[in-house]
Amino acid sequence: SQTIHQWPATLVQPVGSPLSLECTVEGTSNPNLYWYRQAAGRGLQLLFYSVGIGQISSEVPQNLSASRPQDRQFILSSKKLLLSDSGFYLCAWGLLGTTKETQYFGPGTRLLVL
């Protein structure tokens, strides 16, 4: 069966520090991968998605970037965090690549920027 891992689970970082969040998927090949952010009491905002190694699409311009160095690994990064980067970061995977695709989420990383 497929599983998705994210780490760390919780992170507290100072403003201006770098960020690296990692997501890995097991039990499937060539998944579509997604990074979302959920601010407190708000809906999910799609940040990036990837349909293959090295292929990244950005949905919202901001100081974050994403990379997919391996088929089942998706990394979210920032060179300098802002206060507004605080939130719940969720990685998700899906397979169909069509409008019928169901997305499955990892446990998330809760980021607090101080």
Partner 1 sequence: RKEVEQDPGPFNVPEGATVAFNCTYSNSASQSFFWYRQDCRKEPKLLMSVYSSGNEDGRFTAQLNRASQYISLLIRDSKLSDSATYLCVVTLNTGGFKTIFGAGTRLFVKA
Cβ closer to partner 1: 13 or 104?
A: 104
Binding track, positions 34-63, relative to partner 1; x by CB under 8 A = --x-----xxx-x-----------------
Q: How far is the CB of 1 from partner 1 (least distance, A)?
A: 14
Question: Which of these segments, 19-27, 60-68, 69-77, 90-98, binds partner 1 (CB under 8 A)?
Answer: 90-98
Q: Count of residues binding partner 1 (CB under 8 A)? A: 20
Neighbours of 38 (CB within 10 A): 15
Q: How far is the CB of 108 from partner 1 (least distance, A)?
A: 5
